[in-house]
Structure 1
Amino acid sequence: MGEDEIVPGIDKKLIEEFKRDFEGDAKNLIARNVITRHGLSETYLDRAIVNATSHVFQYKVSEAKPITNQLSSGRCWLFACLNAIRIPFIRFHKLEEFEFSQSYLFFWDKVERCNYFLDVFEEVARKKEAVDGRLMMFLLSNPVNDGGQWDMLVNLIKKYGLIPKKCWKESSCSEASRDFNRILNYKLRECAYRIRTLVLDTNANKEELQKEKDTMMKEIFGVCCICLGSPPSSFTWEYYDKLKQFNTVSDVSPQLFYQKYVKPVFNMDDKICLVNDPRNPYGQLYTVEYLNNMSNGRITLYNNQPMDVIKKLASTAIRDGEPVWFGCDVGKHFVRKLGLLDLKCHQHDLVFGFSSLNLDKKSRLLYGESLMTHAMLLTGIERRSEWQPSKWRVENSWGDSSGEKGYLVMTDDWFSEFVFEVVIDKKHIPKDILTILEQKPIVLPAWDPMGALA
Structure 2
Amino acid sequence: MNQQLSKFKESLQKRPEHQILERTVTKNGVLASAVDYHAESKMTPVFSIDLDTGDVANQKQSGRCWMFAALNTMRHEIKNKFNVPKDFELSQNYTYFWDKLEKANYFYENVLATADLPTSDRKVAWLMETPQQDGGQWDMIVSIIQKYGVVPKSAMPETYNSSKSSEFNSTFNLKLRKDAVALRKLAAQKTTEEKLEAFKEELLDENYRMLAYSFGEPPVHFDFEYRDAEKKYHLDRNLTALDFFKKYVGWNLDDYVSIINGPTADKPYKHMYTVEMLGNVVDGRQVRHLNVNMETFRNVAIKQLQQGESVWFGCDVGKESDRQKGIMETGLYRKGELFDVDLQMSKAERLDYSQSLMTHAMVLTGVDLVDGKPTKWKVENSWGKKVGNEGFFVMSNNWMNEYCYQVVVNKKYLPAELQEVLKEDPKVLAPWDPMGSLA
Aligned residue type for 1:366: D
* SS class of match (1:103): helix
Question: How far did residue 259 of structure 1 move?
Answer: 1.6
Asked if residue 183 in structure 1 is aligned to residue 171 in structure 2, the reply is: yes
Aligned counterparts of 1:235 and 1:197: Cα–Cα separation in 2: 43
* Aligned position for 2:253: 268
**Aligned residues: CA RMSD:** 1.3
* SS class of match (2:114): helix
Aligned counterparts of 2:370 and 2:349: Cα–Cα separation in 1: 28
Aligned counterparts of 2:35 and 2:66: Cα–Cα separation in 1: 29
CA contact (8 A) 1:272 1:423 kept: yes
Aligned counterparts of 1:35 and 1:234: Cα–Cα separation in 2: 59
CA contact (8 A) 2:357 2:435 kept: yes
* Aligned position for 1:132: 120
Aligned residue type for 2:85: E
| Alignment deviations for residues 271-305 of structure 1 (CA, whole Å, 9 cap, x no partner) | 11111111111111100001100111111000111
Aligned residue type for 1:301: R
Question: How far did residue 117 of structure 1 move?
Answer: 0.3
Question: How far did residue 325 of structure 1 move?
Answer: 0.4
CA contact (8 A) 2:262 2:291 kept: yes
* Aligned position for 2:339: 352
* SS class of match (1:343): coil
Aligned counterparts of 1:146 and 1:50: Cα–Cα separation in 2: 32
Aligned counterparts of 2:353 and 2:58: Cα–Cα separation in 1: 32
Aligned counterparts of 1:338 and 1:134: Cα–Cα separation in 2: 41
1:380-399 aligned at under 5 Å gives the runs 380-386=366-372, 388-399=373-384
Aligned counterparts of 1:22 and 1:185: Cα–Cα separation in 2: 49
CA contact (8 A) 1:274 1:303 kept: yes
Aligned residue type for 2:300: L
State the TM-score, normalized to the length of structure 1.
0.94
Aligned residue type for 2:403: F
Asked if residue 96 in structure 1 is aligned to residue 85 in structure 2, the reply is: yes
Asked if residue 173 in structure 1 is aligned to residue 161 in structure 2, the reply is: yes
| Alignment deviations for residues 306-343 of structure 1 (CA, whole Å, 9 cap, x no partner) | 11011111111111111010011111100112111111
Segments of 5+ residues of structure 1 without an aligned counterpart are 1-10
* Aligned position for 1:206: 193
Q: Which residue, 244, 252, 267 being the options, matches 2:239? A: 252
CA contact (8 A) 1:80 1:397 kept: yes
Aligned counterparts of 1:29 and 1:364: Cα–Cα separation in 2: 32
Question: How far did residue 349 of structure 1 move?
Answer: 2.2
Question: How far did residue 24 of structure 1 move?
Answer: 4.4
Aligned residue type for 2:354: G
State the TM-score, normalized to the length of structure 2.
0.97
Aligned counterparts of 2:429 and 2:112: Cα–Cα separation in 1: 21
* Aligned position for 2:364: 378
Asked if residue 32 in structure 1 is aligned to residue 17 in structure 2, the reply is: no
CA contact (8 A) 1:60 1:319 kept: no
| Alignment deviations for residues 12-60 of structure 1 (CA, whole Å, 9 cap, x no partner) | 3322332343344343332222222222222211011222220000011
Q: Which residue, 63, 70, 77 being the options, matches 2:66? A: 77
CA contact (8 A) 2:43 2:396 kept: no
CA contact (8 A) 2:33 2:338 kept: no
Q: Which residue, 338, 351, 363 being the options, matches 1:365? A: 351
Q: Which residue, 200, 203, 211 being the options, matches 1:216? A: 203
* Aligned position for 2:99: 109
Q: Which residue, 397, 404, 409 being the options, matches 1:412? A: 397
CA contact (8 A) 2:357 2:434 kept: yes
* SS class of match (2:225): strand
Aligned counterparts of 1:108 and 1:30: Cα–Cα separation in 2: 56
* Aligned position for 1:67: 56
* Aligned position for 2:42: 52
* Aligned position for 1:3: none
* Aligned position for 1:317: 304
* Aligned position for 1:159: 147
CA contact (8 A) 2:30 2:335 kept: no
Question: How far did residue 359 of structure 1 move?
Answer: 1.2
Question: How far did residue 439 of structure 1 move?
Answer: 0.7
Aligned counterparts of 2:387 and 2:128: Cα–Cα separation in 1: 35
* Aligned position for 1:425: 410
Aligned counterparts of 1:44 and 1:192: Cα–Cα separation in 2: 48
Aligned counterparts of 1:26 and 1:285: Cα–Cα separation in 2: 54
* Aligned position for 1:17: 7
Aligned counterparts of 1:241 and 1:60: Cα–Cα separation in 2: 22
CA contact (8 A) 1:348 1:355 kept: no
Asked if residue 446 in structure 1 is aligned to residue 431 in structure 2, the reply is: yes
Aligned counterparts of 2:186 and 2:3: Cα–Cα separation in 1: 60
Aligned counterparts of 1:67 and 1:376: Cα–Cα separation in 2: 11
Question: How far did residue 188 of structure 1 move?
Answer: 0.8
CA contact (8 A) 1:61 1:319 kept: no
Aligned residue type for 1:67: V
Question: How far did residue 255 of structure 1 move?
Answer: 1.3
Question: How far did residue 242 of structure 1 move?
Answer: 2.1
CA contact (8 A) 2:53 2:79 kept: no
* SS class of match (2:438): coil
Aligned residue type for 2:260: V
- Percent of aligned pairs with the same residue? 36
Segments of 5+ residues of structure 2 without an aligned counterpart are none
* Aligned position for 1:236: 223
* SS class of match (1:272): strand
CA contact (8 A) 2:278 2:431 kept: yes
Aligned residue type for 2:49: Y
